[in-house]
Amino acid sequence: MVQMPPFIRKMVVGDLVDAKNVDSVCWADLLEKSYGIRASLPQRTDQNILAFLHTDPEGAFVAQDEHAGIVGTCFSHVWGNTGWVGPLSVLPTYQSRGIGKDLLKASLRYLEDEGCVDIGLETMPENTTNLGMYLKVGLRPEGLVLVLTKGLEKGELEEEPSGTLSVERLSDSDVRPQLMRQMKTIANSLRFGLDYSVEIELALRFSFGDTIIASSRGKVVGFSVVHTANRRENQSGASTKVLAVDPGLKESVLEPLVATAELMAADAGCAEITIPIPVLSRKALDSVFSRGYSISRSFERLMWIGSSGLNEQNCNLCSWSA
């Protein structure tokens, strides 16, 4: 009897338990093969997976084997005209069979159908197997994104002097619609059609964290989406998902946003915080290094179509890695 190869279908909420298992087994295997770290990896939280499904349910896919069940997963994310893929996971015993490639192609097709003109993903550059697969499919390297980490000691943190800037949390505001419109305008000015609204809303809806807003003379000039909730079970740590500054602004906005994010993370009991910065963003790198951050890992941004949005002029810090 000929065994049918795994087939790709859309993910449903009932796949949650299997999807979490595939993810933890896949990434634990990757850690052992790439870094010699042999340990079980905590599963993602239910909120983490459900957030992926909530934002783009038509772009979440599984690979299902007729006997073994779900053996692979892939998620898609739409930020206006920008779309990205991740995480993509395949059980070790089912790798090298083209399953990852099929999942990737399903996600790329979905993002194109959604009208995204900038489509890509991020992968660890030292993972030659995954990098090779992405290049063979047709993605092209665009630049390195560094993840910088800082340990947090609440008693040592201080608010950054911000001059004419005022800094507040979106959850504390009574004019959220107005602030959302202004943040959308900033994102669009950084890359035409870019929209971080879905990440801002997710942070509040799933209690991931909050969005910090910097305003000057009543106008939003920058914002940062900060996650303080665990991404995986029993793993404490905060992360800056997005940090965007109005490209037409001359005064410093980055430092007050970063300082407020550190305080917010410490208040939530997080032992550390991370922030993604493209290597091209020299001013942002210099600023964050001066605050005691160090590089913990790196990702290569790969593009399917369009532009990565990485450049040295704008402060548009974001992670395309889930």
Query: What is the predicted pLDDT for the residue at 235?
Result: 80
Cα angle 88, 92, 97; round to 5: 80
- Decide if 304 contacts 138 (C-beta within 8 A): yes
Domains defined along the chain, listed by start: 7-116 (3.40.630.30), 148-318 (3.40.630.30)
Count of CB atoms within 10 A of residue 224's CB?
27
pTM: 0.94
- Decide if 74 contacts 107 (C-beta within 8 A): yes
CA 228 – CA 152 distance, rounded (Å): 13
Query: What is the predicted pLDDT for the residue at 3?
Result: 65
Query: What is the predicted pLDDT for the residue at 45?
Result: 93
- Decide if 232 contacts 254 (C-beta within 8 A): no
Placement of tokens 């990852």 in the chain? 100
Pick out the chain residues at pLDDT < 70: 1-3, 155-156, 158-162, 250-251
Query: What is the predicted pLDDT for the residue at 127?
Result: 86
Encode pLDDT of 56-81 as tens digits: 999 999 999 988 899 999 999 999 99
Cα angle 144, 277, 51; round to 5: 100
Distances from the Cα of 188 to the Cαs of 180, 246, 316, in angstroms?
Answer: 12, 10, 11
Give the length of the chain.
322
Query: What is the predicted pLDDT for the residue at 160?
Result: 61
Q: Exposed, middle or buried by CB within 10 Å (0-12, 13-18, 19+), for 262?
A: buried
What residues contact residue 122 under an 8 Å CB cut-off, 6+ apart? Answer: 84, 86, 145, 299, 300, 301, 302, 319, 320, 321
Could you tell me if residue 163 is left (phi over 0), alpha (psi between -120 and 50 degrees) or otherwise beta? left
